[in-house]
């Protein structure tokens, strides 16, 4: 037989771990923000195409970015102007077509995409296509001496490398050194060839699989930049990234890949001049807004289950409701761990809920006014020797009258806050008055004030715990944390140690 204490521990551990795990998963993998004011960067990357027409039917095709690890695409939007705009899904990604029957003017076309960096984001349909077509068949363009030079360079590089990746590194190094070999110089002297095209031609000769990675650094204020072209070389089980200027690099974290593969980013027909440029602007957006919208749009099954999926009126009800366990936890702590006596077990939570609606100061003021005038009325009623139920009912009616009078008077005086008092649960107030006066009669003013004071102290503590943006955010966005609260309540429920107030109560005993 497992002892009940052990069972309690196990259940509490299990609950706490489940709650924390789900919350952790949401934070780390779904990017749900932990704090309500957590700001996240959203970059707007705009591809801008400047066009000059020829009068013939015009078409512009732009390759579009696909999902990629570490970058979440929030929105895409194209602007076509007078052009028609369609997108086509090809086997190497999406293609955007802008088309027009006749075009002879200058024009600008835009395609905007909004992304946010998310380090651990892993898209399901990541494009991993490798373009293996021998794109650089140089044999017909290069003469014999150039071919010999190329063979020499490759021989050297092959000897001084271990695999495809290090060979590519070696090649780029040879082209970028301050004192290139004669063979390199000969190739560099060729017209219309750049380091990039030469390196790729050599890699193609060597039958090494590579692809261009074109994209842009996500930095605020980039205007009209050309796409950065990097080289990705496929190794045995991983690939290496290269910059044609600096050799092997790691892909920068804020590098947004626009297109993968060796085909051109943009192709045109019937266009005299076309120029593709990129701009980047950064905006800081409250993370909670971001993820809320994301959750709903993405249709993530897990998050579809969240409270954000409810209509907003129900959401607001739940926002209140989910705070109650926090208040209950405060009561548990104050009663069991500290040992403050309160009037009724959860009366303080109800007080706190009322204070949230009225604000603390005006709520407390109302409480004092209504309870003290209620006590006076009730002491008179007790002289009338009414039966219990009738007496409480009478107190309720009197409390409502006091509240009405206060509301009218304060409205005339222009104090709006008092109007909110109508939310103050009058039944609770009436019961407080009734119980307090009974306690007063039987156990004296001291006991009655101790208990009411204790209730107010706990209510104020619960108010601060509940009326707190961070707590509101956590309870609503991470309802699974209720399990953690439950675990804490269960654990405190088995606490058999001393209460803090007992350190005073039993002091004369232990001191002797």
Partner 1 sequence: MKFVTFGALRRKGIVGMNYRNVELIGRYNPRSHYPLVDNKLMTKELATASGVPVTELYATIERQSQLRNLHDILAPFESFVVKPDYGSGGKGIVVITHREGDTFIKASGDALSLNDLRKHISNILSGLYSLGGRYDTAIIEKVVAFDPMFADYSFEGVPDIRIIVYRGYPVMAMMRCPTRESDGKANLHQGAVGVGLSLKDGSALSAVIHDRPVTHHPDTHHDFAKLKVPQWEAVLTMAASCYEMTGLGYLGADIVFDKNDGALMLELNARPGLAIQIANGRGLRERLETVDRQKQPRSAAERVLYSMNYIE
Residues forming a β-bridge with 59: 99, 269
505 binds partner 1 (CB under 8 A): yes
Q: Which is nearer to partner 1, 412 or 512 (CB)?
A: 512
CB of 291 to partner 1, least distance (A): 41
Count residues near partner 1 (CB under 8 A): 29
Q: Which is nearer to partner 1, 242 or 431 (CB)?
A: 431
Q: Which is nearer to partner 1, 100 or 391 (CB)?
A: 391
Which stretch of DSSP H or E encloses residue 282?
strand 271-286
Residues forming a β-bridge with 45: 113, 280
CB of 491 to partner 1, least distance (A): 12
Between strands 58-63 and 39-53, the pairing is unpaired
Spatial contact of 38 and 86, defined as CB atoms under 8 Å apart: no
Spatial strand order in the sheet of 255-260: 247-249, 239-243, 228-234, 210-217, 255-260
Binding window for partner 1 (CB under 8 A); candidates: 43-51, 230-238, 438-446, 454-462: 438-446
- Residue by residue, DSSP assigns 181-195 as -HHHHHHHTSTT--H
Spatial contact of 185 and 179, defined as CB atoms under 8 Å apart: no
The contact pattern for partner 1, residues 359-398, with x = CB under 8 A and - = no contact, is: --------------------------x-xxx---------
Query: What are the residues whose beta carbons fall under 8 Å from the beta carbon of 198, sequence distance 6 or more?
Result: 175, 187, 188, 190
Nearest alpha-carbon partner for 211 in 236, 186, 179, 235? 235
504 binds partner 1 (CB under 8 A): yes
Collapsing DSSP states into helix, strand and coil, what is residue 271?
strand
Binding window for partner 1 (CB under 8 A); candidates: 130-138, 407-415, 476-484, 502-510: 502-510
Window 456 to 495, contacts with partner 1 (CB under 8 A): 493-495
Q: Which is nearer to partner 1, 3 or 192 (CB)?
A: 3
Binding window for partner 1 (CB under 8 A); candidates: 244-252, 414-422, 476-484, 500-508: 500-508
CB of 220 to partner 1, least distance (A): 56
11 binds partner 1 (CB under 8 A): no
509 binds partner 1 (CB under 8 A): yes
Query: What are the residues whose beta carbons fall under 8 Å from the beta carbon of 244, sequence distance 6 or more?
Result: 172, 194, 195, 196, 199, 229, 231
Binding window for partner 1 (CB under 8 A); candidates: 99-107, 128-136, 146-154, 442-450: 442-450
Give the other-Cβ count within 10 Å of 384's Cβ: 9
119 binds partner 1 (CB under 8 A): no
162 binds partner 1 (CB under 8 A): no
CB of 354 to partner 1, least distance (A): 23
442 binds partner 1 (CB under 8 A): yes
Which stretch of DSSP H or E encloses residue 361?
helix 360-383
Gap between the Cα atoms of 230 and 256, Å rounded: 12
224 binds partner 1 (CB under 8 A): no
Binding window for partner 1 (CB under 8 A); candidates: 47-55, 293-301, 405-413, 435-443: 435-443
Helix H, strand E, coil C: the string for 327-351 is HHHHHHHHHHHHCCCCCCCCHHHHH
- Determine which residue in the list 185, 444, 449, 469 makes contact with partner 1, applying CB under 8 A: 444
Report the chain's C-alpha Rg in angstroms: 36
Q: Which is nearer to partner 1, 134 or 508 (CB)?
A: 508
Nearest alpha-carbon partner for 316 in 271, 279, 356? 356
Binding window for partner 1 (CB under 8 A); candidates: 284-292, 441-449, 456-464, 470-478: 441-449
- Determine which residue in the list 17, 228, 438, 490 makes contact with partner 1, applying CB under 8 A: 438
Window 314 to 343, contacts with partner 1 (CB under 8 A): 336, 339
Gap between the Cα atoms of 386 and 473, Å rounded: 48
Binding window for partner 1 (CB under 8 A); candidates: 219-227, 319-327, 402-410, 501-509: 501-509
CB of 501 to partner 1, least distance (A): 9
Q: From residue 220, how far is each of 31, 97, 123, 135, 287 by CA, in Å?
A: 22, 28, 25, 35, 18
35 binds partner 1 (CB under 8 A): no
Spatial contact of 32 and 478, defined as CB atoms under 8 Å apart: yes
Where residue 468 falls (left for φ over 0; alpha for ψ -120 to 50; beta otherwise) is beta
506 binds partner 1 (CB under 8 A): yes
Give the other-Cβ count within 10 Å of 345's Cβ: 11
CB of 397 to partner 1, least distance (A): 19
311 binds partner 1 (CB under 8 A): no
CB of 403 to partner 1, least distance (A): 25
Interface residue list for partner 1 (CB under 8 A): 336, 339, 385, 387-389, 438, 442-444, 447, 493-499, 502-512
């Amino acid at each position: 037989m497992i002892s009940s204490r052990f069972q309690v521990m196990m259940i509490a551990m299990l609950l706490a771990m489940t709650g924390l795990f789900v919350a952790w998963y949401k934070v780390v993998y779904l990017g749900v923000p932990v704090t309500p004011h957590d700001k996240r960067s959203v970059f707007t990357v705009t591809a801008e195409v400047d066009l000059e027409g020829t009068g013939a039917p015009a078409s512009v095709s732009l390759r579009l970015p696909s999902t990629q690890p570490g970058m979440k695409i929030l929105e895409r939007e194209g602007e076509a102007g007078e052009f028609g705009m369609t997108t086509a899904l090809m086997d190497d990604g999406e293609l955007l077509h802008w088309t027009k029957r006749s075009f002879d003017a200058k024009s600008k076309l835009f395609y905007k995409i909004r992304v946010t960096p998310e380090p651990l984001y892993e898209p399901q349909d990541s494009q991993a296509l490798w373009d293996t077509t021998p794109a650089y068949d140089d044999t017909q363009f290069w003469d014999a001496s150039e071919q010999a030079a190329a063979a020499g360079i490759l021989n050297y590089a092959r000897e001084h490398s271990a695999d495809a990746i290090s060979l590519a590194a070696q090649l780029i190094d040879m082209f970028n050194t301050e004192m290139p070999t004669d063979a390199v110089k000969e190739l560099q002297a060729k017209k219309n060839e750049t380091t990039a095209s030469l390196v790729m031609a050599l890699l193609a000769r060597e039958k090494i699989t590579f692809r261009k990675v074109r994209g842009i650094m996500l930095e605020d204020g980039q205007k009209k930049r050309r796409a950065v072209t990097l080289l990705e070389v496929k190794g045995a089980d991983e690939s290496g990234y290269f910059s044609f200027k600096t050799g092997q690099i790691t892909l920068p974290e804020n590098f947004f890949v626009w297109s993968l593969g060796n085909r051109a980013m943009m192709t045109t027909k019937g266009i005299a001049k076309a120029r593709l440029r990129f701009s980047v602007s950064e905006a800081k957006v409250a993370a909670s807004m971001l993820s809320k919208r994301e959750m709903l749009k993405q249709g993530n099954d897990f998050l579809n289950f969240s409270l954000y999926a409810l209509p907003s009126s129900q959401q607001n009800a739940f926002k209140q409701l989910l705070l109650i366990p926090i208040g209950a936890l405060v009561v548990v702590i104050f009663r069991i761990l500290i040992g403050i006596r309160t009037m009724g077990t959860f009366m303080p939570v109800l007080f706190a809920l009322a204070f949230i609606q009225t604000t603390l100061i005006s709520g407390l003021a109302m409480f004092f006014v209504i309870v003290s005038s209620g006590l006076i009325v009730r002491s008179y009623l007790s002289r009338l020797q009414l039966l219990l139920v009738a007496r409480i009912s009478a107190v309720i009616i009197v409390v409502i009258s006091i509240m009405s009078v206060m509301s009218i008077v304060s409205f005339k005086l222009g104090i709006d806050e008092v109007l909110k008092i109508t939310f103050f649960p009058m039944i609770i107030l009436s019961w407080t008055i009734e119980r307090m006066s009974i306690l007063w009669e039987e156990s004296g003013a001291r006991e009655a004030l101790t208990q009411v004071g204790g209730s107010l102290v706990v209510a104020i503590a619960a108010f601060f715990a509940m009326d707190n943006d961070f707590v509101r955010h956590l309870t609503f966005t991470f309802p699974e944390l209720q399990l953690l609260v439950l675990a804490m309540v269960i654990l405190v429920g088995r606490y058999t140690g001393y209460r803090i107030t007992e350190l005073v109560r039993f002091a004369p005993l232990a001191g002797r």
